[in-house]
Structure 1
Amino acid sequence: GLGVTETITSPTFNIVKQYESGRLPLYHFDVYRIGDVEEMYELGYEEYFFGSGICVIEWAELIDEIIPEEAIRIQIGYGRGEGERIYRCIF
């Protein structure tokens, strides 16, 4: 892993939460409350997306038009049983 020592939690009340304790910076986005893609421009998303860190984005489909083409997408869905999850990686 990255070696991040902090507990990673959803940045529900912020758009992005930064973790700098690992080998690379980790930027955790929750864009559920984004009104439109323009808010990502105002946030300066390009510095995060095209910088030296790793971005994890919850609700990425809401800003699909600005997600880099080379992004690796990980979808998490519910399985059949309680607590069961299905993970799918899209390269």
Structure 2
Amino acid sequence: MSSGNGYSYKGHGTNSQGNHYCARDYGNGSNAYHYSNTNGSYYYSNPNGSTYYNSGSGSSTYTSPSGNSYSSSGSGSGSGSGSSGNSK
């Protein structure tokens, strides 16, 4: 029923595990959805093909439409602006 925002809702709800999901249709063949889990993690799939996942405990992964992945780990109090692998 909501027009003007570029998408329509395909469906949303909560599954048997208590996880919430929401799916949207952008009308031009691209769809998007997200879900949030009871453990605090959540996942977004965007209409441009990118995805984003957050574990709920600080680490997250973003994948661009071209397929490049960028991960950040939230363990510790570092700035998190570098690449992983320098753990001494």
Q: If the length of structure 2 is used for normalisation, what is the TM-score?
A: 0.31
Higher helix share: 1
Q: If the length of structure 1 is used for normalisation, what is the TM-score?
A: 0.30
Greater RCO, CA 8 A, separation 6+: 1
